């Protein structure tokens, strides 16, 4: 996967949640209630990803709201107590779901079905960097933020993401709700996708290409890479970090009493990747996908 700049692409911004549960597994709302809740909250799309149950609800899509069929599939890790959770997006209804299944079996089945794959909440799952690097091979993203996992203090997987990138993985980061309830784990993290239209093919193509950013509140208005520097514009922020491998990168903070609306980073020339994190006064964060320089 090479970096594409969604801020230079035609289309429009669409807001979506890619990890959602209903009463088909362990969610508190049924399918229609969950769809209505996200529609009414101003979202443009969701993926329904119940545990070991493939959604068959794409036909519930309307002109102003898209429903993506999906699943959350679990596998044991190589050591006792280890686990992997994998999201499949755009999964054909009726796909056989073996339980238990190995990670390789899950990835093979979803790949053959033409689905997009996400490694869910690696911090919560106890996945080490070696495990993450192996697991994300063939996946378009891992979850950098998961609202449900905030319940045990493991809502972000930044270090897992950076370690994987440092080891050579090319993988996007997504923010999700992992919605089960109706309060603590809804409308907390989402993706902003730059797509040509609110149609499944357009949204999935944009996700596959990495044409999106993720956020728990802040907006990223523009990113420009030109002449050895990166510039970002955003909603008012208390810090903007240009995160690269190991000791490379830079964090920018404003003068006391002020807020940042933009920042620049001069490339050293030896960065393998750079991704941007924007943090606001309420503690919300927005993440770009990695820009690769190798």
Q: Where are the domains of the chain?
A: 6-214, 220-292
| DSSP H or E segment with residue 252 | strand 249-252
Percentage, residues of the chain above pLDDT 70: 100
pLDDT at 76: 87
**118-152 as b/e, with b when 16 or more CB fall inside 10 Å?**
bbbbbbbbebebebbbbbbeebbbbbbbbbbbbee
Domain 6-214 adopts which CATH fold? TIM Barrel (3.20.20)
Domain 220-292 adopts which CATH fold? Immunoglobulin-like (2.60.40)
pLDDT beyond 90 at 63: yes
Mean pLDDT across 45-66: 98
Mean pLDDT across 168-194: 98
pLDDT at 1: 73
Specify the range with the lowest mean pLDDT, choosing from 10-14, 36-40, 125-129, 202-206: 125-129
Mean pLDDT, all residues of the chain: 97
pLDDT at 163: 96
In this structure, what token pair is assigned to residue 27?
A: 């969610």
Q: How far apart are CA 91 and CA 71, in angstroms?
A: 7
In this structure, what token pair is assigned to residue 9?
A: 């692409």
pLDDT at 81: 78
For residue range 127-176, what is the model confidence (pLDDT) as tens digits?
998 899 999 999 999 999 999 999 999 999 999 999 999 999 999 999 99
Among 15, 36, 24, smallest CA distance to 182 is for 36
Q: How far apart are CA 178 and CA 277, in angstroms?
A: 21
Mean pLDDT across 170-196: 98
């Amino acid at each position: 996967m090479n970096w594409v700049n969604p801020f230079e692409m035609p289309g429009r911004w669409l807001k979506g949640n890619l990890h959602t549960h209903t009463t088909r597994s362990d969610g508190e709302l049924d399918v229609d209630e969950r769809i209505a809740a996200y529609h009414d909250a101003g979202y443009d799309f969701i993926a329904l990803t119940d545990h070991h149950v493939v959604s068959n609800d794409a036909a519930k899509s309307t002109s102003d709201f898209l429903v993506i069929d999906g699943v959350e599939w679990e596998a044991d890790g190589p050591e006792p107590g280890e686990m992997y959770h994998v999201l499949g997006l755009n999964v054909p209804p009726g796909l056989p779901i073996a339980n238990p299944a190995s990670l390789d079996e899950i990835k093979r089945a979803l790949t053959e079905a033409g689905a997009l794959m996400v490694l869910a909440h690696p911090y919560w799952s106890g996945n080490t960097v070696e495990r993450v690097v192996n697991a994300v091979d063939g996946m378009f993203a891992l979850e950098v933020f998961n609202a449900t996992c905030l319940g045990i203090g493991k809502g972000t997987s930044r270090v897992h993401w950076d370690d994987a990138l440092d080891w050579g993985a090319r993988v996007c980061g997504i923010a999700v709700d992992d919605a089960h309830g109706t309060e603590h784990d809804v409308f907390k993290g989402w993706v902003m996708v730059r797509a040509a239209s609110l149609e499944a093919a357009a949204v999935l193509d944009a996700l596959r290409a990495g044409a999106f950013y993720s956020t728990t509140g802040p907006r990223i208005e523009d990113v420009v890479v030109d002449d050895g520097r990166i510039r970002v514009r955003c909603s008012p922020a208390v810090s903007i970090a240009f995160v690269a491998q190991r000791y490379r990168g830079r964090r920018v903070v404003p003068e006391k009493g002020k807020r940042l609306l933009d920042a620049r980073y001069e490339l050293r020339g030896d960065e393998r990747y750079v991704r941007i994190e924007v943090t606001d006064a309420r503690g919300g964060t927005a993440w770009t996908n990695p820009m690769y320089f190798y």
